[in-house]
Structure 1
Amino acid sequence: MDTIWRPMGTDDAAGLATLLAAAEAVDEFGEHYDEDDVREHFMADTIDLEHDTRVAVRDGTIVACGAVVGQVVMREVHTVWCSGVVDPGHRRQGIGRELLTWQLARAEELHRARFGGAPASLGIDIGEHHEGRRALARELGLEPVRHWFEMNRTLDGAVPDVVAPDGITIEPFAWDRDDEVRRAHNVAFRGHYGSTERTPQEWKSWFTGSKAFRPDLSVLALDHQGDVGGYALAYVYVADNVASGRNEVFLGQIGTLPSCRSTGAGRALLAAALAAWKAAGIDAASLGVDSENGTGALGLYERAGFAVTKRSSSWARQLGALTASDAT
């Protein structure tokens, strides 16, 4: 069967949504996309469709898709992520290998164009049960570099009391503080694995500009000077909730500035978010956390009633820094 490879187009949303639904039925990532989600996720202004995406087409049907997204701002290492999926009915036919091979080559090309000889990490995420993807990743020179937990809790029981520490005020998210929150996020996650400075454009595309973002379910911690010292940003993914049949919120980002750590501000933020969600009639909450997070986040979430329900890993091919002799 002939396979045609081409970049994604803006008119591919319906075909991609169908492909992703077929894959989800088998892979059980817990991620569902309607056509608007596809446009937002794959066709954002931050993605170069012509150069950084590919779809595989057989008999007029999209049977695989992939994208390459590189950090715009680099810290110590430039991270480039490859995401993709193959229709279950067309697997084990070499499509996934061809797609990931192209993605890794494009990821290195994108990295060299942006940051030259700087070190880079070219990576993919793999769920704990996806043995075939692990085997392919290993064969193409990737290794596991990080492990992640998805955590969940229901909201039908009691939630922790909100106890703000001295000098900290918990308030609802306010749009006039949006860019201040972005800048606080950049500081809060400095030094975390894979983190980078988020530009205003990225913030608009992936964070508070997302259609899933819920300002009414998000909270801020203000320090004694009235500045943002912490934040908890909530998202509701409608397609996921339609599929699951419950009203769930996702805690996309929670962070505190170094000056507010070890004060109880993070605990107060999480408690305030849980209280807001429960008051809004939310059934359950979920979040993702780095298993090696050095700020004690895992323990914070466990004490707030969250439990690990899924695991995944980041696999990467590492590119060392090029020397002057390498470039000649």
Structure 2
Amino acid sequence: MISLTTRLYKGETDLQAISELLNACEAVDQLDQGVSVSELRQISDDPSLDKMRDIRLWEDANGKLIGIGHLWIPTSGKVINGFLSCHVAPRARNENLERHIITWGKERMREVKQERGLNATLCASAHDQNANFIAPLESSGFKSDRYVLTMRRTLKESIPEPQLPTSFTLRQVKTGQDAKAWVEMYNQSFIDHPNHRDLEVEHYKNHWSNHTYRPDLDLVAIAPDGTFAAFCECKINLENNTHTGRNQGWILKLGTRRGFRRIGLGRAMLLSGMRQLQAAGMDIIKLSVDLNNPNGALQLYESVGFHKLYTMISYIKDI
């Protein structure tokens, strides 16, 4: 059994080791979770993150980083829905370290629950083949509640022409000007999804400073009355593409506001985003979708040529 020690996150001096750990996991798992130091720096600058309490590191007897737990905890809401990210070096995977990380996550969420006086849940996701993480989650009382598919499509094939409803307009998001209207649209688009938590304007603004953010890949559909009705944001991670040898982009966010569904907006926004990635020179496009999405998203993606790549299981536990 591997000897373990745990410690707090030290900031900038830990970023290289964390990047190496996550990329070692990615080399084995192929889940598009590789990350650069600059991306980690951006994540750590999230204003909602308590760096000293929401990140925990585990090292072996030689001081080598072999595990990391990271909690995302919303700063508002009637229920605190925390999310635990767990990464363990491939050579150290045996359920033991995973159990330590899960236990830490539960204890931290109990602290937050007591501090705020609110009910709390803890969520985590695992690849459906990752028994080393699934077994300790289930033995700790976590229950599966969602299945999320990652889907793939080649961009070397033709993409149909997007058709917006009459009098709707398509444009790029104007950073600094559109934040409030965009966030309202986003929250209204996902309010009926499982485990939805409202996005806050300041958190959204922080997203614009990410070095992978590109305004030309961030599209919004405007209704005739000026309402923000639907959106599609795409992402190209050039650093990760260089590291993996892939030439791929992602549909990062796609949604249609309540009251504007079933009129073709979702399909038009999806096709518009796909064309933007194609024009940017990408060969492959990926996205994630809830298997039980209530608005027919899976059927939409399949209709334009996407197919399943792998499945992630979402788990939840009341704290």
Please classify the TM superposition score into its range, dividing by the shorter chain length.
over 0.9
Q: Compared with structure 1, are the counterparts of its residues 2 and 313 closer, same or farther at alpha carbon in structure 2 (3 Å cutoff)?
A: closer
Measured in 2, the distance between the counterparts of 1:245 and 1:317 equals 38
Measured in 2, the distance between the counterparts of 1:29 and 1:124 equals 15
Cα deviation for residue 281 of structure 1 reads 1.6
The aligned amino acid for 2:199 is R
The percentage of counterpart residues that share the same residue type is: 25
The aligned amino acid for 2:178 is R
Deviations 1:192-236 (A, max 9, x none): 11111111232134x434322221122110100123111101111
Q: Which residue does the alignment assign to 2:230?
A: 230
Measured in 1, the distance between the counterparts of 2:291 and 2:141 equals 23
Cα deviation for residue 167 of structure 1 reads 2.7
Cα deviation for residue 255 of structure 1 reads 1.1
Q: Which residue does the alignment assign to 2:8?
A: 7
Aligned residues: 315
Task: Report if the CA contact (8 A) 1:73-1:198 is conserved.
Answer: no
SS at match of 1:252: strand
Q: Which residue does the alignment assign to 1:88?
A: 90
2:205 matched to 1:204? yes
SS at match of 1:164: coil
Q: Which residue does the alignment assign to 1:74?
A: 77
Measured in 2, the distance between the counterparts of 1:111 and 1:235 equals 34
TM-score, normalization by structure 1: 0.90
Cα deviation for residue 43 of structure 1 reads 5.0
Q: Compared with structure 1, are the counterparts of its residues 93 and 316 closer, same or farther at alpha carbon in structure 2 (3 Å cutoff)?
A: closer
SS at match of 1:193: coil
Partner of residue 23 from structure 1, selected from 22, 25, 33: 25
SS at match of 1:51: coil
Cα deviation for residue 159 of structure 1 reads 0.4
Cα deviation for residue 16 of structure 1 reads 0.5
Measured in 2, the distance between the counterparts of 1:185 and 1:254 equals 9
Q: Superposition RMSD on alpha carbons, in Å?
A: 1.8
SS at match of 2:178: helix
SS at match of 1:260: coil
The aligned amino acid for 1:156 is K
Q: Which residue does the alignment assign to 1:282?
A: 282
Cα deviation for residue 93 of structure 1 reads 7.4
Instruction: Structure 2: give runs of 5+ residues left out of the alignment.
Output: none
Cα deviation for residue 312 of structure 1 reads 0.6
Measured in 2, the distance between the counterparts of 1:153 and 1:2 equals 43
Moved over 6 A (4+): none
Task: Report if the CA contact (8 A) 2:179-2:201 is conserved.
Answer: no
Q: Compared with structure 1, are the counterparts of its residues 267 and 86 closer, same or farther at alpha carbon in structure 2 (3 Å cutoff)?
A: same
Instruction: Structure 1: give runs of 5+ residues left out of the alignment.
Output: 320-328
Cα deviation for residue 162 of structure 1 reads 1.2
Q: Which residue does the alignment assign to 2:250?
A: 250
Task: Report if the CA contact (8 A) 2:95-2:136 is conserved.
Answer: no
2:96 matched to 1:97? no
Measured in 1, the distance between the counterparts of 2:42 and 2:279 equals 29
